[in-house]
C-alpha cells in the first residue's frame, strides 16, 4: 500500500468533519474559521496528491483571502445565522 | 433535525463518490501509470526537438496555463478585471483618506512587521520562478494579496494611507499589470507589422508557418518566452487587484454609507 494513503485519508476525513462543522455552526465567524481549517486540510490533501501548483494558489486564497473577505462581509451584516 | 440532514447528505455523498471512484472506476486507472494526455503535455512542455509544438518552459502547468491554453487564462484575467471594475463602480465616490483606526495589539503588529517582508520575498520568488518550478503569476499575486488583509486587520484600514498605498496607486499598479499582459499578447503582431514576418497573437515560440519566437535565454539564463513575462505581469495585476478589493472591503460600513449618501445626494 502507498504510504501517502494514510495521511491522505486522515486529512480528507478531518476536512469532512470541519466542513460539517462549518455548515451547522450558527455563529458565522466560527463557521468561517471551521471553513478555513477545512481548507488547510485540503491543502495537505492536494500536496499529497502531488499538485503543488494548486497548493500554492489554494493556500493563500482558501485560507487567507476567502475567509478574510467573508469576515469583512460578516462585519458589515450580522454575526448570527438567522433561521 | 437540520444537523442530521447535513450529516446524512455528507455521508451519502462521500459514500457514493467513494464507491464510484473505487469500485466503478469512474476516474479511470489511478496511480497505475501516467495518462496519455499527461505524457503528451510532458513531452511537449520543454522539448527543443519539436520547436513547433513545444512551449519551451520546463514547468508543465505554466506551459499549459500560458501557452497551450493561454487564451483561456487571458479571459480568466479579464473576468477578474471586470469583477474589480464592478467593485470600484459600487464604491465610487468613497474617499479613502478619511479612514481612522488603531489596529491590533503591539505584539501582533511586531510579528506582522516581521512576516510581511518574508511574504513579499516568497511572492516575488513564486512569480519569478513560475516558468521553472511550481508557481506562477496568480499564485504569487494571491500570496502578496494576503498582505492587504494583514494591513487592514492588524494595522487597521488607515495603515494603507500611512504606507503611501492609496486606492489610486493600487489601481494604477493593477492596470499596469494588465497593460503588461496586453503588451505581451500584442508583441508578436507588432513585430509582424514592423518586420513583415508572420506572427500570431500570444505566440510564444516558433510555429510551422511562423519563425517568430520570444527569447528563451537571456545572458545564458533560461527565461522561457511568454510564460515568464505573463507570470510577472499577472503577479502585478492579481496582487494589486486584490489590494483594491480588500482596501474597499475594509472600509467601515457607516463611513461608506455616510460618504455615498453625501456624494450621491441620498
Q: What is the interface pTM, i.e. ipTM, of the complex?
A: 0.86
Listed as ranges, residues in chain B with pLDDT below 50 are 266
DSSP structural state of residue B32: S
What pLDDT does residue A83 have? 53
A24 contacts B2? CB cut-off 8 A = yes
What pLDDT does residue A12 have? 92
Q: Does A83 map to a domain? A: no
Number of residues that this document lists for chain A = 83
Structurally, chain A folds into a number of domains equal to 1
A19 contacts B139? CB cut-off 8 A = no
The better pLDDT of the pair A48, B161 is held by A48
Q: Does A25 map to a domain? A: yes
- Count Cα neighbours of B224 within 13 Å in the Cβ-side half-sphere: 28
Q: Does A81 map to a domain? A: no
- For chain A, the residues whose C-beta falls within 8 A of a C-beta of chain B are 2, 16, 19-20, 23-24, 52-53, 55-57, 60-61, 64-65, 68-69, 72-73, 75-76
Give dist(CA A55, CA A62) in Å, integer.
10
What pLDDT does residue A66 have? 93
- A-chain CB neighbours of B135 within 8 Å are 53, 56
Q: Does A65 map to a domain? A: yes
Q: Estimate the share of chain A in helix, then strand, then coil, as percent rounded to the nearest 5.
A: 80, 0, 20
Q: Does A9 map to a domain? A: yes
What angle is formed at CA B29 by the lines to CA B23 and CA B32, rounded to 5 degrees? 120
A60 contacts B142? CB cut-off 8 A = yes
- d(CA B217, nearest CA chain A) in Å: 24
Residue in the structure block whose three cell numbers are 493593477 = B174
Q: B107-135: string of b/e by CB count within 10 Å (b at 16+)? A: eeeeebeeebeebeebbbebbbbbbbebb
Interface with chain B: mutation pick from A17, A26, A65, highest number of B CBs within 10 Å: A65
What pLDDT does residue B213 have? 92
Q: Looking at the complex, does the CB of residue B253 fall below 8 Å from at least one CB of chain A?
A: yes
What pLDDT does residue A16 have? 92
- d(CA B215, nearest CA chain A) in Å: 25
pTM of the model: 0.88
Residue in the structure block whose three cell numbers are 476516474 = B27
Residue A23 domain boundaries:
5-76
Strand extents, DSSP E, A18-59:
none
The better pLDDT of the pair A80, B216 is held by B216
Give dist(CA B124, CA B225) in Å, integer.
18
Interface with chain A: mutation pick from B134, B141, B150, B251, highest number of A CBs within 10 Å: B134
Q: Does A11 map to a domain? A: yes
A72 contacts B250? CB cut-off 8 A = yes
Structure confidence by residue, pLDDT tens digits, B22-71: 888 888 776 667 888 889 999 999 999 998 999 999 999 999 999 999 99
What pLDDT does residue B21 have? 86
What pLDDT does residue B220 have? 87
* Average pLDDT taken over every residue of chain B: 89
Strand extents, DSSP E, chain B:
217-218, 221-222
What does the pLDDT average to over A19-30? Answer: 92
CA dihedral A67, A71, A73, A76 (to 10 degrees): 180
Amino acid at each position: 500500500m502507498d504510504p501517502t494513503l494514510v495521511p491522505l485519508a486522515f486529512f480528507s476525513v478531518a476536512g469532512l468533519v470541519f466542513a460539517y462543522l462549518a455548515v451547522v455552526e450558527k455563529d458565522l465567524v466560527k463557521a468561517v474559521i471551521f471553513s478555513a481549517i477545512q481548507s488547510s486540510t485540503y491543502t495537505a490533501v492536494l500536496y499529497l496528491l502531488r499538485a503543488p501548483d494548486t497548493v500554492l494558489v489554494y493556500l493563500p486564497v482558501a485560507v487567507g483571502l476567502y475567509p478574510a473577505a467573508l469576515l469583512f462581509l460578516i462585519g458589515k451584516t450580522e454575526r448570527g445565522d438567522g433561521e | 433535525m437540520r444537523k442530521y440532514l447535513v450529516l446524512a447528505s455528507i455521508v451519502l455523498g462521500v459514500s457514493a463518490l467513494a464507491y464510484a471512484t473505487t469500485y466503478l472506476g469512474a476516474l479511470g486507472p489511478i496511480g497505475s501509470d501516467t495518462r496519455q494526455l499527461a505524457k503528451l503535455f510532458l513531452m511537449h512542455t520543454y522539448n527543443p526537438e519539436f520547436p513547433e509544438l513545444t512551449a519551451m518552459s520546463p514547468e508543465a502547468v505554466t506551459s499549459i496555463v500560458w501557452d497551450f491554453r493561454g487564451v483561456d487564462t487571458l479571459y480568466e484575467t479579464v473576468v477578474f478585471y471586470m469583477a474589480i471594475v464592478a467593485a470600484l463602480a459600487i464604491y465610487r465616490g468613497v474617499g479613502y483618506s478619511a479612514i481612522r483606526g488603531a489596529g491590533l495589539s503591539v505584539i501582533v503588529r511586531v510579528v506582522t512587521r516581521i512576516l510581511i517582508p518574508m511574504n513579499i520575498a516568497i511572492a516575488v520568488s513564486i512569480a519569478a520562478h513560475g516558468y521553472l518550478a511550481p508557481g506562477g503569476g496568480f499564485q504569487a499575486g494571491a500570496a502578496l494579496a494576503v498582505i492587504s488583509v494583514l494591513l487592514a486587520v492588524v494595522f487597521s484600514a488607515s495603515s494603507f494611507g500611512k504606507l503611501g498605498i492609496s486606492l489610486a496607486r493600487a489601481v494604477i499598479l493593477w492596470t499596469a499589470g494588465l497593460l503588461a499582459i496586453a503588451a505581451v499578447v500584442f508583441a508578436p503582431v507588432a513585430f509582424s507589422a514592423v518586420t513583415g514576418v508572420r506572427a500570431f497573437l500570444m505566440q510564444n515560440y516558433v510555429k510551422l508557418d511562423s519563425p517568430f519566437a520570444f527569447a528563451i535565454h537571456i545572458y545564458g539564463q533560461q527565461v522561457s518566452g511568454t510564460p515568464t513575462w505573463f507570470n510577472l505581469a499577472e503577479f502585478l495585476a492579481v496582487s494589486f487587484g486584490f489590494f483594491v478589493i480588500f482596501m474597499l472591503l475594509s472600509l467601515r460600513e457607516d463611513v461608506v454609507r455616510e460618504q455615498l449618501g453625501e456624494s450621491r445626494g441620498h
